[in-house]
Amino acid sequence: MKHRIVFTGGGSAGHVSVNLALIPEFLREGWDVHYIGSESGIERELIGRLPDVRYHPISTGKLRRYRSIENLKDPFRTLKGVGQAVRLIRRIKPAVIFSKGGFVAVPVVLAGWLCRVPVVIHESDMTPGLANRISIPFARRVCVTFPETQEHIPPAKCEWIGAIVRPELFQGRAERGFRMTGFRPGTPVLLIMGGSLGAKKINTAVRAGLSDLLALCQIVHLTGKGQIDNTLHRYGYVQYEYVNEELPDLLAMTDCVISRAGSNSIFEFLALRMPMLLVPLSKEASRGDQILNARSFEKLGYAAVLPEEELTPEALKLKLKQLMTDRKAYQAAMERYDAKEALAKLKGIIEASAKN
């Protein structure tokens, strides 16, 4: 009989990327793979592209940092999701559950605990997010990216493994990226990425200073869903809402990146030796985890940082120009980092949890 595993996590691509790295490894070894996610989150779209994975949608709440009548409804949505997840887990009978976080994971982790199925959690950021803070007491193991995160988790269940990087990111071909974009080799390429949900403030600053930026480089702009500006048509500037299979090819031709500071993305750029200008989400828009991530990378010499409060077209141009000038120094610092063992280590922890 096949071993069965349930993956969960969603709300943003960052809460799915580690799952996307792990799932092919388990499929190759003959595991029966299931995924429990939200009814309409990005995880449903991303996992739906994997023909050998069965996707199960459930009800879920959402973390909002603003007042809304929806906040009163979320506890009931979560309770409904717990009931749905319990029924699914009893039917699937998985040997283990792996959670990447996000609010859709909370009812799945709680259901796993109620059904006495071992749960392994992965936390990407330096401090655990709210969903993982709720989930950690119900998990058997918690794997973390930053060594500093161990201070926030009971030592008996915590293990530092480093960052998980999708292997396919190393398989991109620059010539395919140039063909896709119509760009010319020999001129630097900048990738701007605000995450799967986009970054309106970055998009606005880029477009306001587009002429100055195009004087420095060609630009691939991943805008986020619904944020393409169809009035902008400039040579050397292309926009996509979001890319998936094409991302390795775009990264292969990229020289520098402007990005938010979500842990999964910045560790992928680090593994690819790609100098970064990070614009972390402000504390007004987040719990401040991206600021901690960005400052850690800045201290280690991996990235330059531009606080969102200081983001203007002029500041963006000056910071990017300096990043491109110092590109070799950033890459030299990155050479000291090696993340190849993390994926195998995490997979081993999941398998060991399933056996016990």
Give percent above pLDDT 70 in the chain.
93
Roughly what angle, to the nearest 10 degrees, separates helices 263-271 and 289-299?
20
C-alpha pair distances (Å), 188 with each of 78, 259, 287:
47, 17, 34
SS3 content of the chain, % helix, strand, coil (to 5): 45, 15, 40
- In SS3 terms, 36-72 reads as EEECCCHHHHHHCCCCCCEEEEECCCCCCCCCCCHHH
Query: What is d(CA 258, CA 304) in angstroms, rounded to the nearest whole number?
Result: 10
Is residue 343 classed as helix, strand or coil in its secondary structure?
helix
Query: What is d(CA 345, CA 44) in angstroms, rounded to the nearest whole number?
Result: 27
Q: Which domains does the chain have, with CATH numbers?
A: 4-164+340-355 (3.40.50.2000), 168-334 (3.40.50.2000)
Q: What is the mean pLDDT of residues 180-198?
A: 87
Is residue 96 classed as helix, strand or coil in its secondary structure?
strand
Query: What is d(CA 139, CA 207) in angstroms, rounded to the nearest whole number?
Result: 44
Q: What pLDDT is recorded for position 327?
A: 95
Two tokens at 133?
């803070």
Amino acid at 43: E
Banded pLDDT at 195 (limits 50, 70, 90) = low
Q: What pLDDT is recorded for position 167?
A: 86
Two tokens at 58?
């459930």
End-to-end CA distance of the chain: 17
Q: What pLDDT is recorded for position 165?
A: 87
User: Tokens 């119509």 — which residue?
Assistant: 182
Q: H helices of the chain, where?
A: 17-28, 42-47, 70-92, 105-114, 130-135, 174-181, 200-208, 210-214, 247-252, 263-271, 289-299, 313-325, 327-334, 342-355
Q: Are 298 and 275 a contacting pair, CB within 8 Å? A: no
Banded pLDDT at 203 (limits 50, 70, 90) = very high
Q: What is the mean pLDDT of residues 20-27?
A: 94
227-248 per-position pLDDT tens digit: 999 999 999 999 999 888 899 9
Whether pTM exceeds 0.85: no
Two tokens at 38?
């939200």
Q: Are 158 and 150 a contacting pair, CB within 8 Å? A: yes
123-159 per-position pLDDT tens digit: 988 888 888 999 999 999 999 998 889 999 999 999 9
Roughly what angle, to the nearest 10 degrees, separates helices 263-271 and 17-28?
70
Two tokens at 348?
């081993």
Is residue 7 classed as helix, strand or coil in its secondary structure?
strand
pLDDT(81) > 60: yes
Tell me the torsion sign for CA atoms 49, 50, 52, 54. negative
pLDDT(225) > 60: yes
C-alpha pair distances (Å), 166 with each of 48, 56, 169, 195, 340:
18, 23, 6, 16, 10
Q: What is the mean pLDDT of residues 313-339?
A: 93
Q: What is the mean pLDDT of residues 186-211?
A: 88
Long-range CB pairs of 130-134 (<8 Å, 24+ gap) are 130/63, 130/287, 131/63, 131/101, 131/102, 131/103, 131/105, 131/106, 132/99, 132/101, 132/105, 134/106, 134/109
38-55 per-position pLDDT tens digit: 998 889 999 999 999 999
271-311 per-position pLDDT tens digit: 999 999 999 988 776 678 899 999 999 999 999 999 999 99
